[in-house]
């Protein structure tokens, strides 16, 4: 049976700054889905990390479906209304357009969707990150889908040994979606050349070359490109199908132990380590560090089991400790050099205005 999973996330307001949504906002979003989603959805799950709320929707309507997107949009609108009533910070932050126009893409919320033939024992991983941008998944997914040092399945399983095809988007191109498909292992160095720059190139999809089946869908929204100004970081979601001809769940999780430095953190303008955290963890230190949470589900005829909170395991306490140390180490040098994003990626205009004002005070000697 073909089913579709749609993950749609938005920041509709948070308590005390960009920390976390209020329980009432999340409850009302959930309530709306339960009340209105009946005829359309097979199942759903509502979760949160940092100041973002994420809806996982299972249905049979295919990718980009008008009614499914409208349902999510209206659920977030309800959340934004409650956030406003409660006086939350940034109420409605990611709902950048006032009117719904058929699809939430381009309206602010982040979207990752996949339609697939459900396998017996279908297993998926939902990843949700806050205080970072879609390129945050570049390195973990490269390592999990193309590097046998991290994913031994690439040499142990004959089907996985055929490699994976990466669809990579140039997110700096705003007029249209500019994408390229490259295949591992032949194009490994080309893939690495693009993925090394998470601000410009972002994994959109990965599929198995043995079966053609899609394994990964990532959100590629750039709020900056939609609004033309800073309104928050892009806080990406991703869906990963795991096991059998895809990497095992543990192979997808393993690279997150690197806690790689990613763009984001305070004011979306710094680098910080991506810390794997349990479901619902707020952010804190320097509006961060950037966080990622993961929920693993099994699916039967589109119905979701209760999830396993993959980063709640005690193993990750050690990784979190290391990530905190990495965060402190880089924070020690404040604004200097690689602690802060390059000019072109800064989410605030202050520095550029300052540079412009200094122009006339420079002189040639």
Active site residues: 11, 230, 233
Buried b or exposed e, range 142-169, using 16+ CB within 10 angstroms: bbbbbbeebbebbeebeebebbbbbbbb
CA neighbor of 304 nearest in space, from 313, 293, 295: 295
Q: Do residues 221 and 234 touch, judged by C-beta distance below 8 A?
A: yes
326 contributes a contact to Mg ion by CB under 5 A: no
Nearer to ligand 13P, 31 or 348 (CB): 348
Q: E strands of 101-163, at which residues?
A: 110-117, 122-130
Which one of 224, 267, 270, 326 is in contact with ligand 13P (CB under 6 A)?
267
Q: E strands of 27-109, at which residues?
A: 41-49, 52-59
Question: Quick one: which segment of 71-79, 195-203, 262-270, 317-325 binds ligand 13P (CB under 6 A)?
Answer: 262-270
131 contributes a contact to ligand 13P by CB under 6 A: yes
Q: Torsions phi, psi of 81, nearest 5?
A: -65, -45
Give me 169's structure tokens. Answer: 């988007």
Which one of 7, 10, 18, 299 is in contact with Mg ion (CB under 5 A)?
18
Rounded distance, CA 336 to CA 213, Å? 44
Which one of 43, 52, 122, 204 is in contact with Mg ion (CB under 5 A)?
52
**Interface with Mg ion in residues 104-163 (CB under 5 A):** 130
Nearer to ligand 13P, 131 or 222 (CB): 131
Which one of 50, 134, 135, 140 is in contact with ligand 13P (CB under 6 A)?
50
270 contributes a contact to ligand 13P by CB under 6 A: no
Q: Which does 205 bind (CB under 5 to 8 A by kind): ligand 13P, Mg ion, none?
A: none
234 contributes a contact to Mg ion by CB under 5 A: no
Give me 160's structure tokens. Answer: 């996985």
The residues of the shown chain that bind ligand 13P, judged by CB under 6 A, are: 11, 18, 50-51, 93, 130-131, 232-233, 235, 243, 248, 250, 266-268, 287
């Amino acid at each position: 049976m073909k089913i579709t999973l749609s993950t749609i996330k938005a920041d509709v307001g948070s308590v005390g700054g960009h920390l976390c949504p209020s329980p009432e906002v999340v409850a009302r979003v959930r309530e709306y889905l339960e009340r209105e989603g009946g005829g359309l959805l097979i199942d759903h799950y509502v979760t949160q990390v940092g100041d973002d709320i994420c809806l996982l929707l299972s249905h049979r309507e295919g990718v980009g479906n008008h009614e499914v997107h409208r349902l999510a949009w209206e659920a977030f609108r309800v959340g934004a209304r409650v956030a406003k009533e409660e006086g939350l910070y940034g109420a409605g932050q990611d709902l950048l357009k006032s009117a719904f126009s058929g699809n939430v893409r381009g309206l602010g919320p982040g979207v990752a969707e996949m339609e697939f033939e459900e396998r017996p024992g279908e297993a998926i991983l939902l990843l949700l990150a806050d205080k970072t941008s879609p390129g945050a998944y570049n390195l973990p997914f490269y390592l999990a889908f193309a590097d046998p040092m991290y994913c031994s399945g690439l040499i142990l399983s004959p089907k996985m040994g055929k490699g994976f095809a990466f669809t990579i988007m140039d997110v700096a191109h705003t007029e249209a979606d500019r994408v390229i498909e490259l295949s591992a292992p032949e194009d490994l160095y080309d893939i690495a050349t693009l993925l090394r720059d998470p601000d410009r190139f972002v994994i959109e999809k990965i599929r198995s070359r043995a079966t053609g089946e899609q394994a990964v869908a990532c959100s590629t929204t750039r709020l900056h490109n939609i609004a033309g100004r800073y309104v928050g970081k892009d806080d990406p979601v991703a869906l990963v199908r795991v096991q059998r001809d895809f990497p095992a769940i543990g192979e997808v999780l393993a690279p997150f132990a690197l806690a790689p430095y990613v763009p984001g953190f305070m004011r979306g303008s710094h680098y910080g380590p991506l810390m794997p955290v349990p479901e619902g963890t707020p952010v804190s230190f320097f509006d961060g560090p950037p966080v990622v949470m993961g929920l693993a589900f099994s699916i039967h005829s589109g119905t979701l089991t209760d999830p396993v909170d993959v980063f709640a395991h005690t193993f990750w306490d050690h990784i979190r400790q290391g990530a905190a140390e990495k965060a402190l180490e880089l924070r020690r040098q404040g604004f200097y050099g690689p602690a802060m994003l390059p000019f072109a990626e800064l989410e605030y205009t202050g520095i550029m205005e300052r540079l412009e004002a200094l122009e006339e005070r420079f002189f040639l000697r």
